[in-house]
Chains A and B, each alone.
Chain A
Amino acid sequence: MTVPAPSALPAVPSPGRTRRRRHRDAPVAWVLLAPALAGIVAFLALPILVVAWLSLTRWNLLAPPTFVGPDNWVRVLTEPTFGHSMLVTVLFVAMVIPTQTGLGLLMAVLLSRGLPGSAFFRVVYVVPWICAPLALGVVWKWIFAPYGGALNALLGTSVEWLTSPALALPAVAAVSIWSQVGYVTLFFLAGLAAIPGQLLEAAALDGAGAWQTFWRIKLPLLGPTTFFVLVTGVIASFQAFDHIYALTPDGGPQGATDVIAARIYLDAFGSGAFDLGRAAVMALCLFAVLVVVTVLQQRFFARRVTYDLS
């Protein structure tokens, strides 16, 4: 899912120039809005109500659902599985976000030097990001395979990348980083390009070196971009599923890669358990976390004052 780019945050709709059209417009507007509105109500709003109801029922799909009140909530919040999945998810996010942001910034700075061939590299880095995460996960599953896999062949080792509890989560995080660095790079490139040339020229006149210019001028001015990249990255990583499912379909060794999205899928459909009530509770908890993150982001951007609001 997506979050608006910072440069495109909605201004409160300002009145059109012709107020008197207000009422004549209404029927047309409703006709134009009807399909999209129906879609949003049926496939985004209604499911929230349904998932709330499911969270209060016990249902294994084969027998009819029974109402159990807060039972699922008690189970999810007291049993260790959910806490473990949240912890794994937070660890995953903590591995992915700083690394991909740092690498993305590094690549963007190098590309912004305007060296010949930069355009080529810029395109290459985005390639993994465009491809199906599921398919990339399968490719990496082979690369990591303990027997017949490319990585062990290359290193001459027989490391169990995906089946060792210590290595599985870093391996899964590495694939995530690998596929997203290019995307982060593009944002930093755009941010760097937006820095007014006069500022940099003034700094050069003052005798600032490249290093000083970066730390004193560029990095502070990249603040909003960095924040945007961080927040969207956190939101996406909290929901990461496809490539993790391809790499470790059952939550990994000792649940090492049992991130929350995978746990929701496994509890609902993927294991033999068919515990839809539990899955519904966890889905709502994840939703709550993401709403908090998004609201914080919106509030930050609503207050920010930046150089590029011309």
Chain B
Amino acid sequence: MTPPVPHPLTRRTLLGSALGLGAAAAAGCSPAAQQQRPGDSGAQRTVTVRLWDEQVEAAYRTSFDAFTAANPDIAVRTTLVPFADYFTKLTADVQAGNADDLFWLNGSYIQPYIDNDLLMEIGADFDAQRPGWIEPAVQQYTRDGALWGVPQLTDGGIAMYYNTQLLEAAGVSPAELADLTWVPGGGEGDTFLPVMQRLTVDALGVRANEDGFDGDNPGTWGYSAAQDLQGIYYNFLGSAGGAFQDAEGRFVFDSPEGRDAFGYLVDLINTHRVSPDAANTNDNGDFTRDQFLQGKIAVFQSGIYNLKNVADGADFSWGIVPIPAGPRGRVSVVNNVVVCGNAAAEDADAVTRVLQWLGSPEGATPIGASGAALPAVTDAQPAFEEYWSGQDVDPSLFAEQGRQPSIGAPTGERYGAALTAWKPFFNEMFLGRLPVEEALAQAQQAANEAIEG
């Protein structure tokens, strides 16, 4: 019933070559793994470190080369997992027992790892080093007197990157941009919105403050308002005087201040059209950065974590100014990143030594020296400033903002589940399809139900 079909394979080639190839490949080898395989260092022990930042990974490689030179018995490999997948993959891998020996965590996600005894305590072995770490980072990761990670990066505060040419074309000076105020609902006393309208141009060259502006056909956008927790909405919420979570970790953003802050952002996007439509940005955290780098956004509000991306990627002249002030001044979120030891690591001694190295000024200096991020090890910070002064960039603004009042970074044992729960409502709110009051109320209820499990 099956008619013969013409075919190009003979039995000999089919079986012979396939079996040969199969035997050759049977063990399976990955070029990506070989790239990282320590060379002929003769190291007996290998420690792996997982992180999400490509720029810092390169700095870590430099750092670990120095480490292995001083500790020939230990080789260190890095694993890069993109931030979008980082915490889901880490959870799965910790469960499966193949998470790396050391891994980065941030304040949002560390709690369940502490609660389930999955981390090595940063105990007496580190007492000598601890004073060398910035205090807010140590505090953020201490629970009942026990510290659970070695501080690595500190984000300082948030600031605004601007495109000089686009500013000039709109007749806006950097000094003007550096001193803006937003007012809930806009109107009297709001200097931020008018400037952003001047900076926004539609496809035909009409500016957003002029008659005939067509927000449906964007040319360049003035500002980067988007559903970006750290870069955008936390700062507006904080400078409105609101909070995202209370001391117990319950979500409290459905407040008068919350409605002010989110209402203002949603209007920037959907009413005044000075920022890209949320359809572009809701699921794409890099859209505004990429558009800024392509000269399509005049003012990009973000953190020090994008400094190197901007410096490397912008082929126009640019600068940094403080974020706009709100009813409570300039308030931004300060977050720190720690590297943690996996409690299940086989070679706890080697892990401790690598952690100590990363907590030392020598170990953390390459991070600063590459300009990738501001180290949370105090004595490694000058290298960062040196790198950027060599580039004629003054990143001190981030640190200054970091010393201003700040709004607590997100946290909680079931933070991931809460984020999943509130995100759909925020998506609709930023798209302008769900009124801010309803969206915040529903999102808050969903998030709080999620943390109760």
A272 partner, pick from B1, B277, B415, beta carbons under 8 A = B415
Known: A254-B428, A271-B420. 13 other contacts (CB 8 A): A60-B91, A61-B91, A61-B95, A62-B116, A62-B118, A158-B217, A250-B283, A270-B88, A271-B88, A273-B450, A274-B92, A274-B416, A275-B417
The tally of residues in A whose CB lies under 8 Å from a CB in B reads 28
The verdict on A62 contacting B112 (CB below 8 Å), with A147-B280, A249-B283, A255-B424 known, is yes
A253 contacts partner chain B, Cβ-Cβ < 8 Å: yes
- A residues near B115, Cβ cutoff 8 Å: 63
Query: What A residues does B252 contact at CB under 8 A?
Result: none
Within 8 A of A (CB), among B398-427: 414-420, 423-424, 427
Which residues from chain B contact A249 at a C-beta distance below 8 Å?
283
Contact with A along B98-123 (1 / 0, CB 8 A): 00000000000000110110100000
* Majority SS at the chain A contact face: loop
B346 within 8 A of A: no
Residue B279 lies at the interface, judged by CB distance under 8 Å to chain A: yes
Structural contact, A273 and B416, CB atoms closer than 8 A: yes
23 residue pairs of the A-B complex, CB under 8 angstroms, read A7-B1, A60-B112, A61-B92, A62-B91, A62-B94, A62-B113, A62-B116, A146-B279, A147-B218, A147-B277, A147-B280, A158-B217, A162-B279, A163-B279, A250-B283, A250-B423, A250-B424, A253-B428, A254-B428, A271-B88, A272-B88, A272-B415, A272-B420
Give the chain B neighbours of A61 by CB distance below 8 A. Answer: 91-92, 94-95
Q: Whose C-beta in chain A lies nearest to the C-beta of B108?
A: A272
Residue A242, interface by CB 8 Å: no
Could you tell me the distance between the alpha carbons of A147 and B275 in the complex, rounded to whole angstroms?
A: 13
When distances are taken between beta carbons in the complex, the residues of chain A under 8 Å from B1 are: 7-8
Q: What does DSSP make chain B's interface, helix, strand, loop or mixed?
A: helix
Q: How far is the CA of A145 from the CA of B277 in the complex (A)?
A: 12
Partner of B95, one of A62, A145, A147, A162: A62
Q: Tell me, yes or no, whether B46 is within 8 Å of chain A by CB.
A: no
Number of B residues near A (Cβ < 8 Å) is 36
Closest residue on chain A to residue B109 by CB atoms: A272
CB distance from B413 to the nearest CB of A (A): 9
B-contact bits for A50-70, CB 8 A (1 contact / 0 none): 000000000011110000000
Chain B residues, CB < 8 A from A250: 283, 423-424
CB of B216 within 8 A of CB of A158, answer yes
Across-interface contacts of A272 in B (CB, < 8 A): 87-88, 414-420
**Cβ contacts under 8 Å, B149 to chain A:** none
Chain B residue at smallest Cβ distance from A159: B279
Task: Say how far B119's CB is from chain A's closest CB, in angstroms.
Answer: 11
Q: Is the CB of A269 within 8 A of B88?
A: yes
B window 439-453: CB within 8 A of A: 450
